[in-house]
Amino acid sequence: MTSAPYAQLALTPPGRLATSGPAGKHDLRTRLAAHGVPVPRSWTADEPERIRPALVRSGYPAVVKPDGLGGGRGVYLVTSAQQVPGWLAMLGQYQYRGPVLAEEYVGGPQLTVLTSSDSGRHSVTAVIATELSLPPLFVEMGHVYSTAVPAETATAGAQGGPAANGSPAFASPDVHRPASGAGPQARAREAAGAVALAALDACGHATGPAQVSVRIADSGPVVMGLHRGASADPVVRLPRHAAAAAGQPGTTTAAAVSSTAATSHFWLPAGDVEAVGALDPIRALPWVAELAFGFGPGDRLPQITDARTRHGHVTVTAAHPAEAAERIATVKTMLAVTVRPRLPLGAVPRPRSPRRSVTVAPHSDRAP
């Protein structure tokens, strides 16, 4: 892993900004590494079928990904050579034949750093905890932005998986505690912000918003990805929702300026939708800021493999992350969806098998 001490993450002077941004993931990593920005080590191949020599160099576990696709498409954790054919089959569904990367796996909680830039001058607007799907995929399934973190906040594992109490694990309390203190929580947030700004300079970003994905590894912050430009993802609206909810009736915080906004994406079984519970009672809840579920009877729920195939989301406001997790769980209990599961590709149905449907509540803390 290419790394640099936090104190050495100095910004490149505006006069040295590149005139064009990186063309792909490999170009981005090469440019960031040249500027001393921590990134995972990676090896490339010209096409997916030639990834195996790169995996020999990276070793296992490794993350394999297409160089030219975004939104988490084709990003896959392989722990042995036996998993490579499954990844190749996934890329075949995207009809992708371009360059690919084998990248060292970096553990630790993941943060999304929102930034704003004007003529090469960058600022951090928010640092937001990110919940990922369980391996082998890396789909962003939840985010939480908070200005106050109580002691009872759940702690997530290295992947950002379920907490021990079964509630959606947004991230470690080390991530969420306000940055005004001098503890490890504040240092993690500050380090993520510093490395994100250094990444913007290194890739030549000059003006406009950006999102930088940062993993907090044992060795320090590591830049995992960077998206420049406006985004329609609900994560970018969390600071605004939290600010609007601060001090409103219904929050239980003693400090009127402290609030939380959290988004959780729905994960249901792939299949044919037969019935959907009423949505209006959910939207009427005073702490529901957004509800998106665009499926109805007769629609087909896709298998979730990337950000584009997620099944909708809910955004709630609360006094702190633990309360947000409770409110998200309430919404998922209220939103009942009856799905007739589809057979996996290549499966043969049993003779005279009865038609079977299942009514489920959406989950984002684990795959069904």
My answer on whether 261 and 136 are in the same domain is yes
Half-sphere exposure (CA, 13 Å, Cβ side) for 286? Answer: 8
CATH of the domain at 255: 3.30.470.20
Together in a domain, 251 and 138 = yes
Same-domain pairing of 30 and 124: no
Helices (H), 43-112: 52-58, 84-94
CA distances from residue 104 to 39, 188, 192 in whole angstroms, order as listed: 10, 21, 19
User: Nearest 5 degrees, angle CA 34-CA 38-CA 44?
Assistant: 70
Domain count across the chain: 2
Tens-binned pLDDT, residue by residue, of the chain (368 aa): 433 333 333 333 332 333 345 568 889 999 999 999 999 999 999 999 999 999 999 999 999 999 988 888 999 999 999 999 999 998 998 999 999 999 999 999 999 999 999 999 999 999 999 999 998 999 999 999 988 543 333 222 233 332 222 223 223 322 233 333 446 767 888 899 999 999 999 999 999 999 999 999 999 999 999 999 888 999 999 999 999 988 554 444 444 456 899 999 999 999 999 999 999 999 999 999 999 999 999 999 999 999 999 999 999 999 999 999 999 999 999 999 999 987 654 444 444 333 444 555 565 444 43
Residue where a domain stops, chosen among 70, 104, 138: 104
In-domain check, residue 366: no
Helix axes 25-34, 184-203, angle to 10 degrees: 110
Distance, CA of 54 to CA of 158 (rounded, Å): 25
Q: Per residue, what are the HEC states of 110-171?
A: EEEEEEEEECCEEEEEEEEEEEECCCCCCCEEEEEEECCCCCCCCCCCCCCCCCCCCCCCCC
The CA distances from residue 362 to 156, 277, 281, 302, 337, in Å, are 20, 12, 16, 14, 8
Q: Which of 104, 129, 163 is the last residue of a domain?
A: 104
Domain limits for position 82: 6-104
Residues 302, 173: one domain?
Answer: yes
Note whether residue 329 is domain-resident. yes
Q: Using CA atoms, how far apart are residues 245 and 249, in angstroms rounded to an integer?
A: 9
Residues 96 and 121 in one domain: no
Phi, psi of 7 (to 5 degrees): -65, -20
Which CATH number is 41's domain given?
A: 3.30.1490.20
Residue 360 falls inside a structural domain: no
